[in-house]
Chain A
């Protein structure tokens, strides 16, 4: 079984809809991250969390929110999706040295 899982793997939604992307990990890491990747660009950090009570904004947090429900779960929400949020979204975990990534969620906002 994969150490970092993301659901759904693919999602198509419409402008204005609320959508949640979920991430779970079995690595026992405290640190979790959400990134987005646009074609031809590197990954950009959206939010990160160092433990259940710690949530921090990354470079591009506008239009997104997160919830750290447990050490193993970190969810990303788009409250009102817009087309320029179409991207590949990655969750990652870390124990402090190096990061481990999930397989990604491909999101299309029409």
Chain B
């Protein structure tokens, strides 16, 4: 059974810092991996999706990498801002491609002005 772990569970940084969030998964046979952002009282917003054949994806100040063989993904946030404060979730889709996502427990990020 696929298990997804995110470290750290919580992170507090001053504005402007670059930071890395980690996601690990136990079964390397994945179809893709998604990073989401969750704000209190709101749904999940998809940030980046990396397909199994890809090594990384970039969107603005965000960069996500994927190493399937080691079962790891990282989300890099450059020049963090208070508006980046949220919970970040990673989720993996098994190799069926049916989008039956298995989620990690998330990293709660607080960026202070």
Contacts and interface: CB of A to CB of B under 8 A. Distances in A.
Asked if chains A and B come from one complex, the reply is yes
Interface of A: 4, 31, 33, 40-45, 48, 50, 58, 90, 92, 94, 96-104
11 contacts: A42-B102, A42-B106, A43-B91, A94-B99, A98-B34, A98-B49, A99-B101, A101-B44, A103-B43, A104-B42, A104-B43
Q: Place the interface of chain B in its size category.
A: 20 to 34
A58 B44 contact: no
Contact of A45 (B32, B51, B101): B101
A94 B69 CA distance: 27
Interface in B59-102: 89, 91, 97-102
Contact of A96 (B34, B97, B100, B103): B97
Contacts of A43: 44, 89, 91, 101, 103
